[in-house]
Structure 1
Amino acid sequence: MSAPGPRDGLTLLVIAKEPVPGRVKTRLTPPFTPAEAAALAAAALADTLAAVSALPARRRVLVLDGRPGPWLPDGWEVLPQCPGGLDERIAHAFARCDGPALLVGMDTPQLTGALPAPVLAPGAWAGRTAWFGPAADGGFWALGLAEPAPDLVRGVPMSTTRTGAVQRRRLLDAGLTVRDLPVLRDVDTAADAAHVAAECAARPGGRFAAEYARCARRVRDGARVGRAVVR
């Protein structure tokens, strides 16, 4: 029997931005401060990396805008993001892969090993297969390609309510068999953060729900102080 080649096994990619106040999760401010928004981003990223670390893979790669921090677990490669729009940065990440690759974002800390489990099943990547994880806001939280092809992502309009539909149509038009993962909600707004924190509350050791509870408590306490001053 021959030894496994470089194309055997799955590459897992997480695309993320360093959680620096004022640079991440700006739609959370207000009601949260830039520092609180960055703390929530760091917690979401840490939970995402922990979930992905638990999955079997040949490579785990963080595609990062910024510098690694203490939230980065052992066993991860770090690939700097290239210049350009998000479509170019995702395309560049896939261009650095050989064999099947699954990319997820940092905005879904409710991710658990059960959610992407179908991509690990026997035959999950047979033929010209793509895996697609739609987001509730019209985007997508996961994209998997059996044969990484950067041009399948380049030119897709990002951060719109039709991003997911355009990306999925691009895959189908290329003749790929598209298999869907569950719909997840990204953490973009304060309402999103509250919803996702509730989903994460039962997750043992998760950071996002605990960080959200601390930040929300400070917001509530601040509102009470503000009302007292007004009176």
Structure 2
Amino acid sequence: MAKVPVPGMAKTRLAPVAGDQGAADLAAAALLDTLAAGSEAFPPGRRVLALTGDLAAGCRADELARACRGWLVVAQGGQTFGQRLVDGHRQAHRREGGPVVQIGMDTPQVGAELLREVAEAAYRYGGPVLGPADDGGWWVLATTHAREAAVLDGVPMSRPDTGRLTAAALSGAGHPPIFTVTLRDVDLPDDARVVAEQAPSTRFAATWRAMAAGALGGAPTTTSLGSAS
């Protein structure tokens, strides 16, 4: 699940230190890292990118277009975020079967091995696998059938209790999840700094370091990228 990294519309909570262009560059780098992990984890024909927006209008458009080779790119359906998540699972299950490992573009530190582990856990368990995020949300949901994801339409998203509410909704619908590792989403400047330090070889980390050094147009104006909180 991804949104085209358009300046002023992507990673807006990073804009106070990175600027609109810099925030979009970071979003593009995170998406490139996520696509690379997915491409390494799963073969062509088993990768679906549910996208909102036109790639040609975003940052690093040519790189993203190349990275999407081997992916089935589909438009996100639905009005709310929860509905779009449900639709993403539905489309992936209908086109490729399960398990479906749904990840966004907020965890560029995720590698192929972890994605495969989540898929294998869902297969062995025969039900959903949920990956909690440090902020109380979740970073991954693997489902073995599209009906497991249907509960997301009724879960409030982007809240400190979204992870707990998602697990409760899954359990209440008869699909109690098991859990994988907790990771940190990149939402705020301090998240970006920590994740870049955790995964220094990623495109995201390289972009963050370049901004911190003032090498990109999105360099901070009032707050140091290296000490943002």
Q: Deviations over 1:177-227 (max 9, x none)?
A: 4221111111111101000100111x3xx2111100011222778569xxx
Match of 1:62 among 40, 49, 52: 49
Deviation of the 1:94 alpha carbon: 1.4
Asked if the contact 1:128–1:175 (Cα under 8 Å) also holds between the matched residues in 2, the reply is no
SS in 2 for 1:115: helix
Q: In structure 2, do the counterparts of structure 1 residues 221 and 105 end up closer, same or farther at CA, with 3 Å as the change threshold? A: closer
Structure having the larger proportion of residues in strand: 1
Match of 1:87 among 82, 89, 93: 82
Deviation of the 1:168 alpha carbon: 0.8
- Match for 1:77: what amino acid? L
Q: In structure 2, do the counterparts of structure 1 residues 221 and 48 end up closer, same or farther at CA, with 3 Å as the change threshold? A: closer
Q: C-alpha distance in 2, partners of 1:128/1:114?
A: 20
Identity within the alignment, %: 38
Asked if the contact 1:116–1:181 (Cα under 8 Å) also holds between the matched residues in 2, the reply is no
SS in 1 for 2:146: coil
- Match for 2:87: what amino acid? H
Deviation of the 1:64 alpha carbon: 0.7
SS in 1 for 2:139: strand
Structure 1 residue runs without a partner (length 5+): 1-14, 225-231
Q: C-alpha distance in 2, partners of 1:221/1:24?
A: 16
Deviation of the 1:81 alpha carbon: 1.4
CA RMSD of aligned residues (A): 2.0
Deviation of the 1:124 alpha carbon: 4.0
Q: Residue 34 of structure 2 corresponds to which residue in structure 1?
A: 48
Q: Residue 199 of structure 2 corresponds to which residue in structure 1?
A: 200
Q: C-alpha distance in 2, partners of 1:27/1:59?
A: 32
- Match for 1:151: what amino acid? A
- Match for 2:12: what amino acid? T
Q: Residue 34 of structure 1 corresponds to which residue in structure 2?
A: 20
SS in 2 for 1:78: strand
Deviation of the 1:24 alpha carbon: 0.5
Structure having the larger proportion of residues in helix: 2
Q: Residue 10 of structure 2 corresponds to which residue in structure 1?
A: 24
Q: In structure 2, do the counterparts of structure 1 residues 24 and 175 end up closer, same or farther at CA, with 3 Å as the change threshold? A: same
Deviation of the 1:109 alpha carbon: 0.3
Deviation of the 1:126 alpha carbon: 4.3
Task: Give the aligned length.
Answer: 206
Asked if the contact 2:3–2:10 (Cα under 8 Å) also holds between the matched residues in 1, the reply is yes
Q: Residue 216 of structure 1 corresponds to which residue in structure 2?
A: 212
Asked if the contact 1:140–1:163 (Cα under 8 Å) also holds between the matched residues in 2, the reply is yes
Q: Deviations over 1:110-168 (max 9, x none)?
A: 001232232343x7424641011111111111001111114221111000001110001
Structure 2 residue runs without a partner (length 5+): 56-60, 224-229
Higher gyration radius (CA): 1
Q: C-alpha distance in 2, partners of 1:108/1:144?
A: 15
Deviation of the 1:46 alpha carbon: 0.2
Asked if the contact 2:19–2:220 (Cα under 8 Å) also holds between the matched residues in 1, the reply is no
Q: In structure 2, do the counterparts of structure 1 residues 127 and 222 end up closer, same or farther at CA, with 3 Å as the change threshold? A: closer
**4+ aligned runs moved over 4 Å, structure 1:** 219-224
Q: C-alpha distance in 2, partners of 1:24/1:167?
A: 25
Q: In structure 2, do the counterparts of structure 1 residues 184 and 107 end up closer, same or farther at CA, with 3 Å as the change threshold? A: same
TM-score by length of 1: 0.82
- Match for 1:59: what amino acid? R
Q: Tell me whether 153-162 or 54-63 shows the greater mean CA deviation.
A: 54-63
